[in-house]
Amino acid sequence: MKNKVLSLALAAGLLASAPVQAADKLTVLLDWFTNPDHAPVITAQTKGFFEAEGLEVELIEPADPAMPPKLVAAGQGDIAISYQPTLHAQIEEGLPVAWIGTLVETPLNSLIVLEDGPIKKLEDLKGKTIGYSVSGFEDAMLGQMLKSVGLGVDDVELINVNFSLSPALMSGQVDAVIGAYRNFELTQLEIEGKKGIAFYPEENGVPIFDELIYVVNKDKTGDPRFARFLAAIEAATVYLTNHPDDAWDAFIEAYPELNDELNKRAWADTLPRFAKRPASLDEGRYQRFAEFMAEAGLISKVVPVETYAVEIR
Protein backbone atom coordinates (compact mmCIF):
# COMPACT_ATOMS: atom_id res chain seq x y z
CA MET A 1 0.00 0.00 0.00
CA LYS A 2 2.83 2.38 0.91
CA ASN A 3 4.49 1.79 -2.45
CA LYS A 4 1.16 2.35 -4.21
CA VAL A 5 0.69 5.69 -2.42
CA LEU A 6 4.23 6.70 -3.35
CA SER A 7 3.57 5.76 -6.98
CA LEU A 8 0.39 7.85 -7.07
CA ALA A 9 2.20 10.78 -5.49
CA LEU A 10 5.03 10.47 -8.00
CA ALA A 11 2.56 10.34 -10.90
CA ALA A 12 0.74 13.43 -9.61
CA GLY A 13 4.05 15.24 -9.27
CA LEU A 14 5.05 14.38 -12.81
CA LEU A 15 1.70 15.63 -14.16
CA ALA A 16 2.01 18.85 -12.19
CA SER A 17 5.49 19.46 -13.49
CA ALA A 18 4.65 18.56 -17.10
CA PRO A 19 4.50 21.58 -19.41
CA VAL A 20 0.96 22.81 -20.17
CA GLN A 21 0.21 22.70 -23.87
CA ALA A 22 0.08 26.22 -25.25
CA ALA A 23 -3.32 27.41 -26.45
CA ASP A 24 -3.77 28.11 -30.14
CA LYS A 25 -3.94 31.85 -30.79
CA LEU A 26 -6.82 33.31 -32.77
CA THR A 27 -7.44 36.92 -33.74
CA VAL A 28 -11.02 38.19 -34.01
CA LEU A 29 -11.60 41.61 -35.58
CA LEU A 30 -14.78 43.22 -34.26
CA ASP A 31 -17.10 45.18 -36.54
CA TRP A 32 -17.27 48.16 -34.17
CA PHE A 33 -16.22 49.15 -30.67
CA THR A 34 -17.05 46.54 -28.02
CA ASN A 35 -20.75 46.58 -27.08
CA PRO A 36 -23.59 44.22 -26.07
CA ASP A 37 -23.98 43.02 -29.67
CA HIS A 38 -20.79 41.06 -29.00
CA ALA A 39 -22.07 39.42 -25.81
CA PRO A 40 -21.48 35.77 -26.88
CA VAL A 41 -17.90 36.55 -27.89
CA ILE A 42 -17.19 38.48 -24.68
CA THR A 43 -18.85 35.78 -22.57
CA ALA A 44 -16.76 33.10 -24.27
CA GLN A 45 -13.72 35.16 -23.29
CA THR A 46 -14.67 36.11 -19.73
CA LYS A 47 -16.21 32.79 -18.67
CA GLY A 48 -13.46 30.55 -20.05
CA PHE A 49 -15.23 28.93 -23.02
CA PHE A 50 -12.41 29.83 -25.42
CA GLU A 51 -9.88 28.51 -22.92
CA ALA A 52 -11.82 25.26 -22.61
CA GLU A 53 -11.43 24.80 -26.37
CA GLY A 54 -7.68 25.41 -26.17
CA LEU A 55 -7.89 28.86 -27.74
CA GLU A 56 -6.26 32.13 -26.83
CA VAL A 57 -8.46 34.70 -28.54
CA GLU A 58 -7.48 38.32 -29.10
CA LEU A 59 -10.38 40.70 -29.76
CA ILE A 60 -9.49 43.81 -31.75
CA GLU A 61 -11.68 46.89 -32.25
CA PRO A 62 -11.30 48.40 -35.74
CA ALA A 63 -9.96 51.85 -36.45
CA ASP A 64 -12.15 51.74 -39.56
CA PRO A 65 -15.34 49.61 -39.36
CA ALA A 66 -15.10 48.83 -43.09
CA MET A 67 -11.71 47.13 -42.75
CA PRO A 68 -12.15 43.84 -40.76
CA PRO A 69 -13.30 41.63 -43.68
CA LYS A 70 -10.66 43.16 -45.92
CA LEU A 71 -7.95 42.52 -43.34
CA VAL A 72 -9.07 38.91 -42.96
CA ALA A 73 -9.05 38.53 -46.74
CA ALA A 74 -5.47 39.84 -46.72
CA GLY A 75 -4.41 37.39 -44.02
CA GLN A 76 -4.11 40.08 -41.33
CA GLY A 77 -6.62 38.48 -38.97
CA ASP A 78 -8.34 35.13 -38.57
CA ILE A 79 -12.03 35.95 -38.11
CA ALA A 80 -13.95 39.16 -38.76
CA ILE A 81 -17.37 40.07 -37.43
CA SER A 82 -19.30 41.59 -40.31
CA TYR A 83 -22.81 41.97 -41.77
CA GLN A 84 -24.74 39.77 -44.19
CA PRO A 85 -25.47 42.62 -46.64
CA THR A 86 -21.76 43.52 -46.60
CA LEU A 87 -20.82 39.90 -47.33
CA HIS A 88 -22.97 39.80 -50.47
CA ALA A 89 -21.50 43.10 -51.68
CA GLN A 90 -17.93 41.96 -51.03
CA ILE A 91 -18.47 38.65 -52.82
CA GLU A 92 -19.62 40.73 -55.77
CA GLU A 93 -16.36 42.69 -55.54
CA GLY A 94 -14.35 39.49 -55.57
CA LEU A 95 -13.12 39.71 -51.99
CA PRO A 96 -11.99 36.20 -50.92
CA VAL A 97 -14.12 35.87 -47.78
CA ALA A 98 -16.64 33.28 -46.63
CA TRP A 99 -19.32 32.94 -43.95
CA ILE A 100 -18.63 30.38 -41.23
CA GLY A 101 -21.16 31.39 -38.58
CA THR A 102 -23.82 33.77 -37.30
CA LEU A 103 -23.66 36.04 -34.27
CA VAL A 104 -26.98 37.96 -34.45
CA GLU A 105 -29.59 36.06 -36.44
CA THR A 106 -32.20 38.79 -36.94
CA PRO A 107 -31.94 42.31 -38.32
CA LEU A 108 -31.20 45.03 -35.79
CA ASN A 109 -31.56 47.75 -38.38
CA SER A 110 -34.86 49.63 -38.38
CA LEU A 111 -36.66 52.83 -39.25
CA ILE A 112 -37.45 54.85 -36.13
CA VAL A 113 -39.81 57.77 -35.50
CA LEU A 114 -40.90 59.62 -32.38
CA GLU A 115 -44.07 58.33 -30.78
CA ASP A 116 -45.46 61.86 -30.44
CA GLY A 117 -44.42 62.80 -33.99
CA PRO A 118 -46.44 62.89 -37.22
CA ILE A 119 -45.59 59.33 -38.35
CA LYS A 120 -47.99 56.66 -37.08
CA LYS A 121 -47.69 54.25 -40.00
CA LEU A 122 -45.29 53.94 -42.93
CA GLU A 123 -47.78 55.59 -45.28
CA ASP A 124 -47.40 58.79 -43.22
CA LEU A 125 -43.82 59.15 -44.47
CA LYS A 126 -45.02 60.68 -47.72
CA GLY A 127 -43.57 64.18 -48.00
CA LYS A 128 -41.52 63.77 -44.81
CA THR A 129 -37.78 63.89 -44.15
CA ILE A 130 -35.74 60.78 -43.34
CA GLY A 131 -32.24 60.91 -41.92
CA TYR A 132 -29.60 58.33 -42.84
CA SER A 133 -25.93 57.65 -42.17
CA VAL A 134 -24.70 55.39 -44.98
CA SER A 135 -26.12 55.15 -48.48
CA GLY A 136 -26.34 51.90 -50.40
CA PHE A 137 -28.02 49.07 -48.52
CA GLU A 138 -29.98 51.44 -46.28
CA ASP A 139 -31.38 53.17 -49.38
CA ALA A 140 -32.46 49.83 -50.81
CA MET A 141 -33.97 48.75 -47.50
CA LEU A 142 -35.91 52.01 -47.19
CA GLY A 143 -37.02 51.78 -50.80
CA GLN A 144 -38.45 48.30 -50.24
CA MET A 145 -40.18 49.35 -47.04
CA LEU A 146 -41.78 52.31 -48.82
CA LYS A 147 -42.73 50.11 -51.77
CA SER A 148 -44.60 47.80 -49.39
CA VAL A 149 -47.06 50.63 -48.71
CA GLY A 150 -47.24 52.02 -52.24
CA LEU A 151 -44.62 54.75 -51.85
CA GLY A 152 -41.20 55.32 -53.37
CA VAL A 153 -37.97 57.07 -52.42
CA ASP A 154 -39.12 60.06 -54.52
CA ASP A 155 -42.01 60.51 -52.05
CA VAL A 156 -39.63 61.41 -49.19
CA GLU A 157 -36.67 63.71 -48.65
CA LEU A 158 -33.43 62.00 -47.60
CA ILE A 159 -30.99 63.92 -45.40
CA ASN A 160 -27.50 62.69 -44.53
CA VAL A 161 -27.15 63.21 -40.76
CA ASN A 162 -23.88 61.25 -40.60
CA PHE A 163 -23.99 59.13 -37.45
CA SER A 164 -26.19 61.51 -35.44
CA LEU A 165 -29.39 59.56 -35.94
CA SER A 166 -30.97 60.01 -32.52
CA PRO A 167 -29.98 63.69 -32.13
CA ALA A 168 -31.34 64.51 -35.59
CA LEU A 169 -34.65 62.85 -34.75
CA MET A 170 -34.97 64.40 -31.28
CA SER A 171 -34.12 67.89 -32.52
CA GLY A 172 -36.75 67.75 -35.24
CA GLN A 173 -34.19 67.98 -38.03
CA VAL A 174 -35.85 64.92 -39.58
CA ASP A 175 -39.15 63.11 -39.15
CA ALA A 176 -37.62 59.62 -39.19
CA VAL A 177 -34.26 57.88 -39.32
CA ILE A 178 -33.25 54.75 -41.22
CA GLY A 179 -30.37 52.56 -40.08
CA ALA A 180 -31.12 52.95 -36.38
CA TYR A 181 -30.55 49.86 -34.25
CA ARG A 182 -33.68 48.79 -32.42
CA ASN A 183 -31.67 47.55 -29.44
CA PHE A 184 -29.83 50.86 -28.94
CA GLU A 185 -31.47 53.90 -30.49
CA LEU A 186 -34.93 53.21 -29.04
CA THR A 187 -33.43 53.01 -25.55
CA GLN A 188 -31.24 56.04 -26.13
CA LEU A 189 -34.33 58.06 -27.06
CA GLU A 190 -36.15 56.91 -23.93
CA ILE A 191 -33.20 57.77 -21.70
CA GLU A 192 -33.23 61.24 -23.26
CA GLY A 193 -36.90 61.64 -22.39
CA LYS A 194 -38.37 60.71 -25.78
CA LYS A 195 -40.20 57.56 -26.81
CA GLY A 196 -39.67 56.07 -30.23
CA ILE A 197 -41.48 53.65 -32.50
CA ALA A 198 -39.58 51.21 -34.72
CA PHE A 199 -40.71 49.91 -38.09
CA TYR A 200 -38.93 46.64 -38.84
CA PRO A 201 -37.70 45.93 -42.38
CA GLU A 202 -38.39 42.19 -42.09
CA GLU A 203 -42.06 43.02 -41.40
CA ASN A 204 -42.28 45.49 -44.26
CA GLY A 205 -41.12 43.88 -47.46
CA VAL A 206 -37.44 43.20 -46.83
CA PRO A 207 -36.30 39.54 -46.65
CA ILE A 208 -35.03 38.62 -43.20
CA PHE A 209 -31.26 38.61 -42.87
CA ASP A 210 -28.53 37.98 -40.31
CA GLU A 211 -27.32 41.26 -38.81
CA LEU A 212 -23.91 40.06 -37.62
CA ILE A 213 -21.89 37.14 -38.94
CA TYR A 214 -18.41 35.61 -38.74
CA VAL A 215 -16.34 35.66 -41.92
CA VAL A 216 -12.90 34.23 -42.70
CA ASN A 217 -10.51 34.05 -45.61
CA LYS A 218 -12.17 31.85 -48.24
CA ASP A 219 -9.05 29.73 -48.62
CA LYS A 220 -8.81 29.00 -44.88
CA THR A 221 -12.25 27.62 -44.05
CA GLY A 222 -10.63 24.27 -43.20
CA ASP A 223 -8.67 25.76 -40.28
CA PRO A 224 -9.45 23.45 -37.31
CA ARG A 225 -9.42 26.38 -34.91
CA PHE A 226 -12.67 27.68 -36.40
CA ALA A 227 -14.72 24.67 -35.32
CA ARG A 228 -13.44 25.09 -31.77
CA PHE A 229 -14.16 28.82 -31.89
CA LEU A 230 -17.78 28.19 -32.92
CA ALA A 231 -18.16 25.48 -30.28
CA ALA A 232 -17.03 27.98 -27.65
CA ILE A 233 -19.43 30.61 -29.02
CA GLU A 234 -22.34 28.14 -28.90
CA ALA A 235 -21.55 27.17 -25.31
CA ALA A 236 -21.17 30.82 -24.34
CA THR A 237 -24.50 31.73 -25.97
CA VAL A 238 -26.30 29.02 -24.04
CA TYR A 239 -24.62 30.20 -20.82
CA LEU A 240 -25.55 33.79 -21.65
CA THR A 241 -29.16 32.76 -22.21
CA ASN A 242 -29.33 30.86 -18.92
CA HIS A 243 -27.28 33.29 -16.81
CA PRO A 244 -27.65 36.78 -18.34
CA ASP A 245 -26.97 38.66 -15.10
CA ASP A 246 -23.80 36.74 -14.30
CA ALA A 247 -22.60 37.21 -17.88
CA TRP A 248 -23.37 40.94 -17.62
CA ASP A 249 -21.34 41.22 -14.41
CA ALA A 250 -18.39 39.58 -16.15
CA PHE A 251 -18.85 41.90 -19.14
CA ILE A 252 -18.72 45.11 -17.13
CA GLU A 253 -15.84 43.80 -15.04
CA ALA A 254 -13.89 43.45 -18.29
CA TYR A 255 -15.24 46.72 -19.73
CA PRO A 256 -16.17 48.98 -16.77
CA GLU A 257 -16.53 52.01 -19.03
CA LEU A 258 -19.65 50.35 -20.54
CA ASN A 259 -21.47 50.06 -17.23
CA ASP A 260 -24.34 52.43 -17.92
CA GLU A 261 -28.10 52.33 -18.41
CA LEU A 262 -27.95 52.24 -22.21
CA ASN A 263 -25.64 49.24 -22.41
CA LYS A 264 -27.38 47.38 -19.60
CA ARG A 265 -30.73 47.64 -21.34
CA ALA A 266 -29.20 46.86 -24.74
CA TRP A 267 -27.72 43.72 -23.18
CA ALA A 268 -31.18 42.47 -22.24
CA ASP A 269 -32.80 43.60 -25.51
CA THR A 270 -30.25 41.78 -27.67
CA LEU A 271 -30.34 38.45 -25.82
CA PRO A 272 -33.18 36.92 -27.88
CA ARG A 273 -31.41 37.75 -31.13
CA PHE A 274 -28.18 35.77 -30.72
CA ALA A 275 -27.84 32.62 -32.83
CA LYS A 276 -28.15 29.57 -30.58
CA ARG A 277 -26.65 27.43 -33.35
CA PRO A 278 -24.01 29.81 -34.72
CA ALA A 279 -22.45 27.27 -37.10
CA SER A 280 -25.77 26.42 -38.81
CA LEU A 281 -26.42 27.93 -42.22
CA ASP A 282 -29.87 28.82 -43.57
CA GLU A 283 -29.14 28.61 -47.30
CA GLY A 284 -32.64 29.76 -48.23
CA ARG A 285 -32.25 32.94 -46.22
CA TYR A 286 -28.98 33.81 -47.97
CA GLN A 287 -30.40 32.96 -51.40
CA ARG A 288 -33.50 35.11 -50.89
CA PHE A 289 -31.52 38.05 -49.58
CA ALA A 290 -29.03 37.86 -52.44
CA GLU A 291 -31.96 37.96 -54.87
CA PHE A 292 -33.30 41.03 -53.08
CA MET A 293 -29.91 42.76 -53.36
CA ALA A 294 -29.73 41.92 -57.05
CA GLU A 295 -33.21 43.31 -57.66
CA ALA A 296 -32.19 46.47 -55.80
CA GLY A 297 -29.13 46.84 -58.03
CA LEU A 298 -26.67 46.37 -55.17
CA ILE A 299 -25.12 43.30 -56.80
CA SER A 300 -25.11 42.32 -60.46
CA LYS A 301 -25.72 38.59 -60.10
CA VAL A 302 -26.72 35.94 -57.57
CA VAL A 303 -24.05 33.30 -57.07
CA PRO A 304 -24.56 29.90 -55.38
CA VAL A 305 -24.59 30.11 -51.60
CA GLU A 306 -22.05 27.29 -51.30
CA THR A 307 -19.46 29.48 -53.02
CA TYR A 308 -19.32 31.91 -50.09
CA ALA A 309 -20.70 30.07 -47.05
CA VAL A 310 -19.33 26.96 -45.37
CA GLU A 311 -20.87 24.94 -42.54
CA ILE A 312 -17.98 23.78 -40.39
CA ARG A 313 -18.56 20.34 -38.93
Q: 113: which strand partners? A: 197
**CA-CA distances (angstroms) from residue 77 to 73, 122, 219, 308?**
8, 42, 13, 18
Quick one: pLDDT at residue 133?
87
* 133-167 pLDDT tens trace: 877 899 999 999 999 999 999 999 999 998 789 99
CB 308 within 8 A of CB 91: yes
Question: Torsion angle, CA of 297/303/308/310, rounded to 10 degrees?
Answer: 130
What is this structure's pTM?
0.91
Q: What is the pLDDT of residues 9-41, one digit of tens each?
A: 444 444 344 445 688 999 999 999 999 999 999
SS3 98: strand
* Cα–Cα distance, 202 to 214 (Å, whole number): 21
Per-10-residue mean pLDDT, the chain, length 313: 42 44 92 97 98 98 94 97 97 97 97 96 97 88 97 96 91 96 94 96 97 98 98 98 98 98 97 98 98 96 98 89
Kindly list the strands in the beta sheet with 55-60, ordered across the sheet, starting from the edge strand earlier in the chain.
55-60, 24-29, 79-82, 212-217, 97-104
